[in-house]
């Protein structure tokens, strides 16, 4: 499997992301082949969609004031988190633990890094539709069948650092289901499913980095994935709270805790 970074200029609000990617591929002498996968950072997708908020213009609620004091956070950021999150579960100094789009994440996915001064970047809107738009436009430009992953970086419980997570996919099956198969010792697998799209996002994150690399997209070639023309629902990337080990245990104690 081969990973090739695509270096672009800094993406500005309202930019044509596809034109930036195609120009960068051409200028850097890169090639795109049939059944390559393009992993794109969600921050540049959201920035191109103008999904930015200026902190100083946000009207602050009493709840935001209280949470900001409790968790030592910028009150304007907390207000935006309250507006974007589906649920606030709690927090630690400087970070709120939230649920958005049935995914556990810090600060509702709002990003202060790689955002213009005084602004934050929200998650992209209509992520599945956006992934398919990127796929269709890049295929027209390149003449090749492609898979697309819009990727973010997230933390894992009790693990240091971030890993990649697929926000949306187009053109590939995001999960490989091993249930019903046998392991090396003929033991039947009952619950094992491999997060293919998340693994691709993590692989790409090694090339993208988290600072000033200016590599918001990565070509992955030769990945062992299944290409598909069906539209994968975001719900297929998640599981219910009852199935989730962490959330099922968390819910057992949550009623007695105070946010």
Please give the domain boundaries of the chain with CATH numbers for all domains.
2-51+124-248 (3.30.1330.100), 52-122 (3.90.1660.10)
Is pTM beyond 0.85 here?
yes
What local confidence, expressed as pLDDT, does residue 255 receive? 63
Residue 55 has pLDDT above 80, yes or no: yes
Residue 258 has pLDDT above 80, yes or no: no
Q: Give the total residue count for the chain.
A: 259
Q: Which distant-in-sequence residues (6+ apart) come within 8 Å of 77 by Cβ?
A: 55, 68, 107, 110, 112, 120
| Residue 6 contacts residue 217 (beta carbons within 8 Å) | yes
What's the rounded mean pLDDT across residues 62-73? 97
Q: Burial code of 113-136, b = ≥16 C-beta within 10 A, e = fewer?
A: ebbeeebbbbbbeebbebbbebbe
What's the rounded mean pLDDT across residues 154-182? 91
What local confidence, expressed as pLDDT, does residue 60 receive? 96
What local confidence, expressed as pLDDT, does residue 257 receive? 57
For 132-153, what is each residue's pLDDT tens digit? 999 999 999 999 999 999 999 9
Which of the four pLDDT bands, split at 50, 70 and 90, describes residue 16? very high
Q: Which tokens belong to 226?
A: 């299944």
Question: Cβ–Cβ contacts within 10 Å for residue 51, how many?
Answer: 18
Rounded to the nearest 5 degrees, what angle is found at the Cα of 49, between the Cα atoms of 84 and 115?
70
What local confidence, expressed as pLDDT, does residue 227 receive? 97
For 231-252, what is each residue's pLDDT tens digit? 998 889 999 888 888 888 887 7
Tokens 């996915």 found at: 109
């Amino acid at each position: 499997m081969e990973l090739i970074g695509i270096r672009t200029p800094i993406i500005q609000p309202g930019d044509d992301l596809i034109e930036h990617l195609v120009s960068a591929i051409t200028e850097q002498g890169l090639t795109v082949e049939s059944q390559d996968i393009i992993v794109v950072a969600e921050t540049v997708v959201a920035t191109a969609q103008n999904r930015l908020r200026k902190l100083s213009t946000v009207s602050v609620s009493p709840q935001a004031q209280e949470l900001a004091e409790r968790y030592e956070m910028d009150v304007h950021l907390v207000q935006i988190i309250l507006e974007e999150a589906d649920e606030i579960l709690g927090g630690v100094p400087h970070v709120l633990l939230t649920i958005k789009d049935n995914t556990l994440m810090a600060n509702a996915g709002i990003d202060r890094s790689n955002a213009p001064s005084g602004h934050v970047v929200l998650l992209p809107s209509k992520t599945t539709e956006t992934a398919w738009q990127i796929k269709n436009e890049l295929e027209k430009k390149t003449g090749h069948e492609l898979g697309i992953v819009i990727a973010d970086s997230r933390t894992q419980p009790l693990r240091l650092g971030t890993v990649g997570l697929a926000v949306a996919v187009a053109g590939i099956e995001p999960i490989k289901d091993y249930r019903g198969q046998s392991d090396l010792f003929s033991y039947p697998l009952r619950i094992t499913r491999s997060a293919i799209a998340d693994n691709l996002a993590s692989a790409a994150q090694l090339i993208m980095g988290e600072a000033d690399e200016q590599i918001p997209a990565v070509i992955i070639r030769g990945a062992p994935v299944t290409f598909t023309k069906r539209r994968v629902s975001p719900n297929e990337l998640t599981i219910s709270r009852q199935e989730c080990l962490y959330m099922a245990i968390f819910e057992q104690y949550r009623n007695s805790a105070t946010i």
